[in-house]
Amino acid sequence: MDGHVRRLLNRVSIALAAVATAALLHLFRHSSSYCIVGGSGSPTYSSLSLKPFPRTSCDAASRRVVDPDLRFAKLRASPRWRRRSDALSSSTLVPLRRLRLLGESSRVLCIAAGAGLAADALHAAGVGDVTAVDLVDFPPLVRRADAHNLPFFDGAFDVVLSDDPGALTGALFPSRFATEIERTVRRGGAIAIAVDRHVGLSTVAHLFRKSRIVKVRNATLDGSLVNIVIFRSYRSTTNSH
């Protein structure tokens, strides 16, 4: 009786193994037919895709890889990019130059930089030393860093700039956000922050305790009315990273 049971179990095991092997071969043939993009195995670059987020691995595999430089060039050529860049230049970069707080040799940090519009505008204005950071990197101009804990030394920059109106008020800890900005800008350097019009200037000034407001400009960025608040740092900190 025991021998009969063992033989039966062996046959069942062999049958299950055969079924599993057949299923794997079936899946492999279907994935090879429908999930591989291109015949050479190398990624093919295309324009930006507006398809919904892939729900399966096959959906993801069927999408073409977008070259970062091509993606940035497409954004940079858009009318919206040009309008915002012009608005940022007239409302922020020009006043900074007139106040003698920005020059071609200035070291500038752009925070909450998004796709890198502010960095691109600074490059176009002749400023060569520009660093742009955000929580998500966006090559070729923006690298990843947390504004609450910036990986830079004290006083590393002449100017710190944020053109995102929601960066300060939307920060997890606005006071920490402001403290890190003041830490990384040199004494006598400039801070330029875009804030929504509904945010009181006294509230903004209270966050930047080691700087004083020297200029406020009205601006329209992407259809939103904002204030560009320009500070001058008057006291350095002692902490270092």
Task: With respect to residue 164, please indicate whether it lies within any of the assigned structural domains.
Answer: yes
Task: With respect to residue 176, please indicate whether it lies within any of the assigned structural domains.
Answer: yes
The Cα 186–Cα 192 span in angstroms is 14
Task: With respect to residue 192, please indicate whether it lies within any of the assigned structural domains.
Answer: yes
The Cα 171–Cα 147 span in angstroms is 9
- Work out the pLDDT band at 20, boundaries 50, 70, 90: confident
Q: 41: which 2 tokens?
A: 């195995």
Share of the chain above pLDDT 90, in %: 67
How far CA 60 is from CA of 44, 56, 138, 199, in Å, comes to 14, 7, 20, 42
pLDDT at residue 241 is higher than 50: no
pLDDT at residue 187 is higher than 80: yes
Task: With respect to residue 98, please indicate whether it lies within any of the assigned structural domains.
Answer: yes
Q: Domain containing 168: what range?
A: 77-233
The Cα 184–Cα 159 span in angstroms is 9
pLDDT at residue 34 is higher than 60: no
Task: With respect to residue 148, please indicate whether it lies within any of the assigned structural domains.
Answer: yes
For 137-161, what is the mean pLDDT? 97
Which CATH number covers residue 108? 3.40.50.150
Average per-residue pLDDT in the chain?
Answer: 85
The Cα 65–Cα 74 span in angstroms is 15
Chain segment 196-223, per-residue pLDDT in tens = 999 999 999 999 999 999 999 999 998 8
Q: Any bridge partners for residue 229, and if so which? A: 193, 216
Residues with Cβ < 8 Å from 183, sequence gap 6 or more?
Answer: 150, 154, 237, 239
For 13-17, what is the mean pLDDT? 76
Task: With respect to residue 11, please indicate whether it lies within any of the assigned structural domains.
Answer: no
Chain segment 112-133, per-residue pLDDT in tens = 999 999 999 999 999 999 999 9
Whole-structure pTM value: 0.72
Task: With respect to residue 42, please indicate whether it lies within any of the assigned structural domains.
Answer: no
Task: With respect to residue 57, please indicate whether it lies within any of the assigned structural domains.
Answer: no
Q: Which stretch, 20-29, 31-40, 59-68, 131-140, has highest mean pLDDT?
A: 131-140
pLDDT at residue 152 is higher than 70: yes
pLDDT at 58: 55
Backbone φ and ψ for 160, nearest 5 degrees, come out as -120, 130
Number of domains in the chain: 1
pLDDT at 59: 57
Which of 217, 210, 202, 212 shows the shortest CA–CA distance to 238? 210
Q: 105: which 2 tokens?
A: 């040799």
